[in-house]
Amino acid sequence: MKIKVGVIFGGPTVEHEVSIISAVQAMEHLNKEKYDIYPIYISKDRTWYTGKMLADIDIYRDFDTLKRFAKKVVLYNHNGLFRLQALNIFRTVVADLDIILPVVHGNNMEDGTIQGYLELVGVPYVGSNVLGSSLGQDKVVMKQVFESLNLPVVEYTWFFDKEYFLDKEEIIKKVKKVGFPVIVKPATLGSSVGITYVKDISGLENAIEDAISYDNKIVVEKAVENLVEVNCSVLGTYESQQASTLEEVMSTQEFLTYQDKYLSGGKGKFGSKGSKGMASASRIIPARLDDKTTNLVQDLAKEAFKALNLSGVCRIDFLINSKTNKVYINEPNTIPGSLSFYLWEETNKPYEQLLDEMITLAIKQYKVKHQKTISFDTNILSNFNGSKGIKGKIRK
């Protein structure tokens, strides 16, 4: 019997389109002998659709066609089955799924949101759990966790929008302490949205206000000079991890923009069958680092993966000052663009095999988790002192 895999993608996130590209690539590479694939596309307005045609990138050029031919569906727990059911008048059962492969990027989806939904349904899913996914999205909290384990991060300060508007001077003082040049970022977005490189104080307020238009939490980091950016993909769980070959990513400006990441190469990238998403940014594989630094980056990548209790395949990004050779962890991507398949291909793991391993790990973790006790066999209500009624005190 084939394993029924629901591939969830899209959703109300700024990285909606990138997720479509990553998901279509993954669906092309899932072994059709082993898996029955159910594409589950979530539109920007949060409607869930399924249909075989959703595995074809061209359908997304015209949302009206998609809406007309795809089935609106819901995924829920039906007496222990993970049921994908049509919202038509017949309530047709599309499938009872075995596992979900989330290929979503960005906040509102990758940040634990979709994982929380899947936990509630009870369905096994590939990749990091709720907490790991949330930590991976918040550029402040992840740094605090890394710092607590003495993992290297850049100097930074952070604040909420309200604090900035109440006392700009105080915030500017904090930024000056970090020292220019700085990078101003919304704390929980991705794909370089709302990020500005600020050379000196003159550009600071505009940059902060731009970031505030995307997020209520802002992080300002010291810009790493003589910058070399390298990424390492990690596959595993908290128990054991493998690190991939490193890539060195090239940017055309002070930092990698959305343009560099997804649109470089110009026309045809998004629409073409061979579209590579994140895999199209200009890159050098393997990164031009000596063995010692390569090993250091791979070890740090595995440490960072473990620190946040991540699972499946993640990509940990690094910033290196090439003059001082100082290496900093920039951020994890808990569901990396293109699932970073191109790094594993360079590590002698074809994409099909990578997907197989991710699914196997997820099934194993699900079994382990469900062996743990998840409920106590008591009913506190039966012992509840009725005479005190609803006013009785509950200590939780």
Ligand X SMILES: Nc1ncnc2c1ncn2[C@@H]1O[C@H](COP(=O)(O)OP(=O)(O)O)[C@@H](O)[C@H]1O
Q: In the complex, which residues of this chain contact ligand X (CB under 6 A)?
A: 154, 183, 185, 190-192, 195, 221, 223-224, 227, 229, 251, 255-256, 317, 319, 330-331
Q: Which residue's CB is nearer to ligand X, number 83 or number 139?
A: 139
DSSP string over 144-177: HHHHHTT-----EEEEEHHHHHH-HHHHHHHHHH
Distance between CA 243 and CA 180 in Å, rounded?
34
Nearest distance from C-beta of residue 253 to ligand X, angstroms: 8
3-state SS of 233-294 is EEEECCCCEEEEEEEEECCCCCCCCHHHHHHCCCCCCCCCCCCCHHHHCCEECCCCCCHHHH
- Residue 223 in tokens: 């810009």
Of 87, 106, 79, 90, residue with least CA distance to 40: 87
Q: How far is the CB of 292 from ligand X (least distance, A)?
A: 22
Nearer to ligand X, 97 or 300 (CB): 300
Q: For residue 162, which amino acid is it?
A: K
Which residue is closest to ligand X by CB? 255
Closest CB to ligand X among residues 133, 365:
133
Tokens read off for 231: 């990424």
Q: Which is nearer to ligand X, 51 or 106 (CB)?
A: 106
Tell me the closest approach of the beta carbon of residue 337 to ligand X, in angstroms: 10
Give least dist CB 228 to ligand X, A.
10
Task: Pick between residue 6 and residue 102 the one whose CB is nearest to ligand X.
Answer: 102
Q: Which of 58, 155 has the CB closer to ligand X? A: 155
Q: Is there a contact between 157 and 185 (Cβ–Cβ < 8 Å)? A: no
Shortest reach from residue 359's CB to ligand X, in Å: 26
CB of 166: closest distance to ligand X in angstroms?
26
Residue 13 Cβ, how far from ligand X at the closest point, in Å?
A: 12
Q: Is 188 helix (H, G, I), strand (E, B) or coil?
A: coil
**Which CB sits closer to ligand X, 155 or 167?**
155
Q: What is the DSSP string of 192-246?
A: TTT-EEE-SGGGHHHHHHHHHTT-SEEEEEEPPSSEEEEEEEEEE-SS-EEEEEE
